[in-house]
Amino acid sequence: MSMDGQVRWDVGKSLWFGGITLVALVGAVPTFTPSAFVLFAVSSALTLCMGHSVGLHRGLIHRAYRVPRWLEYTLTYLGVLVGLGGPRGLVRLHDTRDFQQNQPRCHDYFAHRQPAWRDYYWNLHCRFDFARPFTPRVDERVEADAFYGWLERTWKWQQVPWAVLLWMVGGLPWLVWGVFVRVAVSTTGHWLVGYVAHRHGYRDWHNEGAAVQGFNNLLFGALSMGEGWHNNHHTFPRSARLGLHWWEVDVGWCFIALLRTLGLATQVLVPGEGTRVHHARMLR
């Protein structure tokens, strides 16, 4: 079975996520200022929405729309600033996760079945070593692109120029809140949305034969730029739009719709026959 394998502690991941979170926990309160908080809120929203949700997830990973190369690079760069990884690594990880979740059996590591504390530890401090080599679908264009190769090698270092700039402009408060608190909250939040959206919420669709069903989560759906409408995403993985009902607020989709209005985004894919996985069945 391709699902067999072991969860192993990953020193590099643990030092990165753990170190940044530790600095954020220790430094956030003593360095709090209103301007540092605004900087944190605005930079988190921009990197998570334009960068991670739209650029990396809906764009690079699912190819749900097309934009000019300069804009694709800009959005991907913003996504890398979230601090989760480089473009090639994130595409491979997402494809691995998608494949595993859609099998009839799926390891708890990819299915988020364990209690929150263990799922947090597994996702941000461990990796999954497959018993038999598993090769995810790779995106040749992302693998061949020199800019994405550079981002892949340097994704952790991409925080440094911003750290220096923020420190020079706003001192320690801007450095701590603009880099450490932002990356800690964004990466922990990314895990939390994934954890909740695979466990709690309502479903309009059932994906036959898939071990893992996503849920549409009222608490996190809108907060996560639309990413928490996750049952919709499991059903229409290639759709640029994740919120389907009027209450399923989807900020990422609003941004893509704006890009389309401006003539910058083309071939925008929306929910329908063409983007639905073949084993999905409507529940109501």
Q: Which chain residues interact with Zn ion by CB under 5 A?
A: 214
Indicate the residue among 94 and 182 with the shorter CB distance to Zn ion: 94
Indicate the residue among 98 and 152 with the shorter CB distance to Zn ion: 98
Give the SS3 label for residue 53: helix
Closest approach of Zn ion to the CB of residue 1, in Å: 20
Indicate the residue among 65 and 180 with the shorter CB distance to Zn ion: 65
Give the SS3 label for residue 29: coil
Indicate the residue among 173 and 214 with the shorter CB distance to Zn ion: 214
Residues 6+ apart with CB under 8 A from 103: 2, 3, 210, 211
Closest approach of Zn ion to the CB of residue 241, in Å: 13
**How far is Cα 253 from Cα 274, in angstroms, rounded to an integer?**
18
Q: Residue 183, class by beta-carbon neighbours within 10 Å (0-12 exposed, 13-18 middle, 19+ buried)?
A: buried
Task: Name residue, tokens 């908080």.
Answer: 37
Closest approach of Zn ion to the CB of residue 234, in Å: 6
Angle between the 182-197 and 116-125 helix axes, to the nearest 10 degrees? 120
Closest approach of Zn ion to the CB of residue 259, in Å: 19
Closest approach of Zn ion to the CB of residue 88, in Å: 16
Indicate the residue among 99 and 130 with the shorter CB distance to Zn ion: 99
Residue, CB closest to Zn ion: 214
**How far is Cα 258 from Cα 217, in angstroms, rounded to an integer?**
25
